[in-house]
A and B are shown apart, each in its own frame.
Chain A
């Protein structure tokens, strides 16, 4: 047991783990994450197999990385506990422990007490002896940072295990059920600067639950507390409504793209609307969100058999395949509205993480405070004898402290 504790208390282990975490993390960022298995095999060949075997395609969740983080957590935990048990009593106890290398000082005890107080020391005088201390926060800072890390890691773990996250694209009037509440989108605003660039996205939602009905505005960077979690303004997407006319069938369709129509003995598959049709590297893409070259792709089926396909453009004719197919289509109109992208996040570890971050912050600020010094001065017949604790160069440091 003591061997195990010594192993986890080792500062060498800490440094080695820091280096290993850094190396694995760095390698992980060089590999595209969460791609299909074939992607790695085709792009990297044999190396791809190694990447997959080492789970570097999802390094942050890999066994290797998780093991390193667990070891780092245990190392930090044991070191921190050891310091709290073994070192803190010495830091907090003024009187007895840790003093080393006493030297004679050419000053009276009263003068020294005054000097120390003026230099920001907390001073206790008992008879002919003075005990003084300064920079306690500085000394505790590394421990606070370690404690903060432990809280943050535990919080991260709890958060990861209890995370409930859902994303929704909604148009005004759409509702979703979140826990015991119903959230309805009332309005989605896209604010822009004078140059047209995005300024803000704001979703106004109505929340109905057992407490009644409330209205919230959800903005980027300003999530709303809803249904025991937080609702974020996360994204947005265009929502196109199109009108297709089939003159030979005497039929007109108005509504969203990506649908299946049944008319005149045909099943007509209407694929996504492309506002700005372009072919790039052999693939159809939309070059922008603006309707500069609107198009929609149709496939006609009779039973299971595809009998024709047709790219229908708004601004020019394009023949169907086969060209003698008796049905034609026209893209008569297209209208864009926007759907808001809302994300609901619920997790239990956030408070732990926040506490951890606050403690890390206090520890970090503490590092900027003056170095910890503990000094005792005893009046003897030959003069005052000063001793200092935790000093690398005791004599020099005592002289510096008591120098006027």
Chain B
């Protein structure tokens, strides 16, 4: 039986699910060892998906980031690595790991939807650009950090200890501070340069462009309010959650609900 790229994507999804399950049990039982298992399963998901990405790239002769199936699985791949590395550096709590993983799994699960085609299709002419690759990969890395910031923000809201709350608040800030440069480069800078090459203008107020700018403004507002206005705690956390909601709408809502260059209509 020939193994195609979807075998690896499907396998990675099951590993992500297993990682989520272990994290949930770690959260309930408060056993740190299970969180450790969850994180290594997460790394396994990243490693397992990699040959799928390579196979698909070879089949379509391009980086597989050109349709919904490829976008959500790519976010899963990046997300698995980023969350694993953040855990190594900051020793994430099980609550944070669980919420971040739940978000990543939910996004990845869209690849199983019957309305999402798994078919390998070579990119249309406008998508054949190195700038597109930079645009999408950097934006996705930024968005994964924003997912982590959402997880830490939610953990803040569920936490009762002041010490934990301070840590979650700080982690939310750090995640956004890390995600913001990637998102700026990917969504705005590289996107604008690609648009110039493809359509002859840097910016055209296409709905996706506008919503990317809105996402950027919300996170920029968060950083300004925190850095210069001294916002901490609940106000800052609500800001981060609003940012995440806007980001999710930019990622999915715009493509399906609003007409434009990034539309799937």
Q: Is the CB of B210 within 8 A of A353?
A: no
Q: B238 an interface residue at 8 Å Cβ cutoff?
A: no
Q: Does B124 interact with chain A (Cβ within 8 Å)?
A: yes
**Which of B122, B189, B218 is close to A18, meaning CB atoms less than 8 Å apart?**
B218
- With A29-B254, A201-B125 already in contact, the answer to whether A345 and B213 are too (CB < 8 A) is no
User: B220 near A18 (CB under 8 angstroms)?
Assistant: yes
Chain B contact-residue range equals 35 or more
Contacts of B258 in A (CB 8 A): 29-30
Give A345 Cβ to nearest chain B Cβ, in Å. 4
Contact A18 B221 (CB under 8 A): yes
Return the contact of B181 from the options A21, A223, A365 (Cβ within 8 A).
Answer: A365
B178 touches A21 (CB 8 A): no
Most chain A C-beta atoms within 10 Å of own C-beta, residue among B121, B185, B217, B224: B217
CA distance A368 to B182 in the complex (A): 9
Q: B211 on the interface (CB 8 Å rule)?
A: yes
Residues of A close to B184: CB separation below 8 A: 145, 360, 364
Q: Given A25-B214, A193-B122, answer yes or no on A11-B181 (Cβ-Cβ < 8 Å).
A: no
Give Cα A219–Cα B198 distance, bound, in whole angstroms: 9
Taking CB as reference atom, which chain A residue is nearest B127?
Answer: A221
When A165-B200, A201-B125, A220-B125 are in contact, do A11 and B213 touch as well, CB less than 8 Å? no
What is the interface residue range for chain A against chain B? Answer: 35 or more
Instruction: Determine which of B128, B188, B198 lies in contact with A360 in the assembled complex, contact meaning CB atoms within 8 Å.
Output: B188
B129-175 residues with Cβ-Cβ distance < 8 A to A are 129
Q: Cα distance A80–B128 when bound, in Å? A: 38
Given A25-B214, A365-B181, A15:B221 Cβ within 8 A: yes
Contact call B218/A368, Cβ cutoff below 8 A: no
- Answer whether residue B106 sits at the interface, using C-beta atoms and an 8 A cutoff: no
A23 to B224, CA, bound (A): 18
Asked whether A364 lies within 8 Å of B254 as measured between CB atoms, the reply is no
> B214–A198 contact, CB under 8 A?
no
| Chain A neighbourhood of B193, CB < 8 A | 354, 357
- Give A1-23 as 1s and 0s: 1 = Cβ < 8 Å from B's Cβ atoms: 00000000001101100110110
Q: Is the beta-carbon distance between A29 and B211 smaller than 8 angstroms?
A: yes
Q: Are B125 and A200 in contact (CB under 8 A)?
A: yes
A233 to B197: give the CA distance in the assembly, Å: 10
Known: A15-B224, A345-B200, A361-B189. A197 touches B181 (CB 8 A): no
In the complex, the chain A residue whose C-beta lies closest to that of B61 is A193
Contact yes or no, A22 B125, CB < 8 A: no
Question: Which residues on B sit within 8 Å (CB–CB) of A230?
Answer: 200
A199 / chain B contacts, CB cutoff of 8 Å: 122, 125
CB nearest neighbor in B for A16: B221
Are B192 and A197 in contact, with the CB atoms below 8 A?
no
Instruction: Give Cα distance in the complex from A234 to B178, angstroms.
Output: 37
Check if A22 sits within 8 Å of B197, measured CB to CB. Answer: no
Nearest residue, chain A, Cβ from B181: A364
**Given A364-B184, A368-B181: A15 in contact with B225 (beta carbons within 8 A):** yes
CB of A364 within 8 A of CB of B198, answer no
As a 0/1 sequence over residues 109 to 134 of chain B, the CB contacts with chain A under 8 angstroms (1 = contact) are 00000000000011011101100000
Flag whether A367 is at the interface (Cβ < 8 A). yes
Q: Hey, which chain B residues are within 8 Å of A165, CB to CB?
A: 200
Q: Is A275 on the interface with B (CB-CB < 8 A)?
A: no
Interface centre among B128, B177, B210 (most CB of A within 10 A): B210
Query: Contacts of B196 on A, CB cut-off 8 Å?
Result: 350
Q: How far is the CA of A234 from the CA of B125 in the complex (A)?
A: 11
Partner pick for A367 among B177, B188, B202, B203, CB 8 A cutoff: B177
Is A222 among interface residues, defined by CB-CB distance under 8 A?
yes
Query: What is the distance, in angstroms, from B52's C-beta to the closest C-beta of chain A?
Result: 21
Which residues 203-249 of A have a CB within 8 angstroms of B?
Answer: 219-223, 230, 232-234
Nearest chain B CB to A31's CB is how many angstroms away? Answer: 10
- Whether B229 lies near A343 (C-beta < 8 A) is no
B48 at the interface (CB under 8 A from A): no
| Docked pose: A59 CA to B200 CA in angstroms | 21
A361 proximity list for chain B (CB < 8 A)? 185, 189
Q: Is the Cβ of A22 less than 8 Å from the Cβ of B214? A: yes
A-B pairs, top 9 by smallest CB distance, nearest first, are A220-B125, A364-B181, A60-B205, A29-B207, A345-B200, A18-B217, A22-B214, A18-B221, A11-B228
Q: List 29 A-B contacts (CB under 8 A).
A: A12-B229, A18-B217, A18-B220, A18-B221, A19-B221, A21-B214, A22-B217, A29-B258, A30-B258, A32-B259, A145-B184, A152-B202, A195-B121, A198-B125, A200-B128, A201-B125, A220-B125, A221-B125, A221-B128, A221-B197, A234-B199, A234-B200, A350-B196, A353-B192, A357-B189, A360-B188, A364-B184, A364-B185, A368-B178
Starting from the known contacts A59-B205, A152-B202, 5 additional A-B residue pairs (CB-CB under 8 Å) come to A21-B217, A22-B213, A60-B205, A221-B194, A345-B200
